[in-house]
Amino acid sequence: MVINAEEYDYYELNRIITGSDDTDIDVSGVMGQRYIGCGASNKSITVHGIPGNALGAYLDGSTITVYGNAQDAIGDTMNGGEIIVHGNCGDTTGYAMRSGKIYVKGNAGYRVGIHMKEYKELYPKIIIGGSVGDFLGEYQAGGIIVVLGIGCEASVPVGSFCGTGMHGGYIFIRGDEPPRGLPVQVCCETATDEDKKIIKEYVEEFCTHFGYDAKELLASRFFKLTPNTASPYKQLYTNN
């Protein structure tokens, strides 16, 4: 099914997408319509243009491919499936994500992976090709976040306050220096070859989507961040 989104607001557009019996849906002319593919199962949705906030919210097994930049809160509370963005995306990517995969070719904004979590076989993954803003993995409770820093000029491809409130999961950051000012409840160490096996599959898939060399990327230095269970979470917002 081919849809020209120019004539539709978010409500009508999503009614057409989720109401369609087709599995392959191509949407062009998107300009800010929110919630595209919200809760959708077993579909392959291609988006041309600028999808609005909460793209793929509650996504439940569909694949969404975006040819352009995405805005804030993609994959909000998504439950399964894949979101592949051939561009940048905004703040709170993978907000409270429960499972599935998000691949972003370029940069992402603040609070990537905020509050993502895992449970048994549900295991969310976010792979960002470029750099990210502050509060990466804020309150992260599970899953994996990988930041590859491709094309990043700064020495560290993540902003300040990385891992604030982190209490589960992994963050892998490619680079020669660890993030500065990590909170005491986060452990940071150079990833071993054994550690890299955790992310190998996802880095390879990233490279398949966007045409990079996985071997070369995986041969670089990565830092692995995990919660330090020995230290309780310290308040940020009161000691400002």
- Contact residues for another protein, defined by CB under 8 A: 9-10, 31-32, 34, 49-50, 52-53, 69, 71-72, 88, 90-91, 109-110, 133-135, 159-160, 180-181, 239-240
* Residue 109 Cβ vs another protein, minimum distance, rounded to whole Å: 5
Which residue, 143 or 159, has its beta carbon nearer to another protein? 159
Which residue, 75 or 109, has its beta carbon nearer to another protein? 109
* Residue 157 Cβ vs another protein, minimum distance, rounded to whole Å: 14
Q: What distance in Å separates the CA atoms of residue 47 and residue 25, rounded to the nearest whole number? A: 9
Q: Coil, strand or helix: which one is 218?
A: helix
Radius of gyration of the chain (CA): 18
Strand boundaries in 86-221, DSSP class E: 101-104, 125-128, 141-147, 168-174, 186-190
* Residue 34 Cβ vs another protein, minimum distance, rounded to whole Å: 6
Cα–chain center distance at 218:
19
Contact 91, 71 (CB under 8 A): no
Which residue, 13 or 199, has its beta carbon nearer to another protein? 13
* Residue 192 Cβ vs another protein, minimum distance, rounded to whole Å: 29
Q: What distance in Å separates the CA atoms of residue 107 and residue 129, rounded to the nearest whole number? A: 7
Which residue, 123 or 233, has its beta carbon nearer to another protein? 233
Which residue, 38 or 218, has its beta carbon nearer to another protein? 38
* Residue 22 Cβ vs another protein, minimum distance, rounded to whole Å: 25
DSSP 8-state secondary structure symbol assigned to residue 235: P
Q: What distance in Å separates the CA atoms of residue 33 and residue 225, rounded to the nearest whole number? A: 35
* Residue 49 Cβ vs another protein, minimum distance, rounded to whole Å: 8
Q: What distance in Å separates the CA atoms of residue 38 and residue 130, rounded to the nearest whole number? A: 26
Which residue, 24 or 177, has its beta carbon nearer to another protein? 177
Which ranges of the chain would DSSP assign to H, the alpha helix?
10-19, 193-210, 214-219
Closest C-alpha among 153, 111, 105 to residue 129: 105
